Homo-oligomer: A and B are copies of this chain.
Amino acid sequence: MNFQEISRQLRKNGHKVTPQRMAIIQTVLGSTELLTPSSIFEKVKKTDPGVGEVTVYRTLNILESLGMVCVVHTDEKTHSYISCPTEHHDHLICSDCGKVVNFTHCDLGTLEKRLTAESGFNINDHRLDFYGRCEKCDRKQCKAKTPAEIRTHRESCH
């Protein structure tokens, strides 16, 4: 998604196109790894020091409402976000480096029918996340323990 498409998408939904917003959006959409509000803030600050942390939170809410990012549930206490396609998809998440791969065609139709019959539930949605190690991390096993080590390791994977 390029600058113009993003701008159009924003305006179509009644949002203004501001430099802060665009800086944040380009950082988020240009990444394939899991991002937290504060990690986004840190990244954006390097190129656009004028952007406030609160604006990151606000922009993430807009992106979520537009379906351009997903909230990924991790064991951490902060929200994690990942840029994603707007059609239905699920996630493969690397537990070492935070890389996320979207995949489509989860083919849960059969399972869903079985569960509907067994439970009486009227199912209308699901969330499927696979966890494991991406190819890179699987080769160089991660030994990082401290937050700083994990950050270094993650950077070496991207």
Q: Which of B107, B126, B130 has a CB less than 8 Å from the CB of A129?
A: B126
Q: Mark A86-113, 1 if CB is under 8 A from B, else 0.
A: 0000001010000001010011001110
Q: Which residues of B contact A126 (CB under 8 A)?
A: 128-131
Tell me which residues across on chain B come within 8 A of A42, comparing CB atoms. Answer: none
Instruction: Tell me, in angstroms, the Cα distance from A134 to B133 when the chains sit together.
Output: 35
Given contacts A73-B73, A106-B111, A111-B107, contact A123 B132 (CB under 8 A): yes
Contact call B138/A130, Cβ cutoff below 8 A: no
Alpha-carbon distance A100/B28, docked complex (angstroms): 34
Asked if A115 is at the interface of the complex by the 8 Å CB criterion, the answer is yes
Q: A147 at interface (Cβ–Cβ under 8 A)?
A: no
Chain A residues with a Cβ under 8 A of chain B = 73, 92, 94, 101, 103, 106-107, 110-112, 115, 118-135, 138
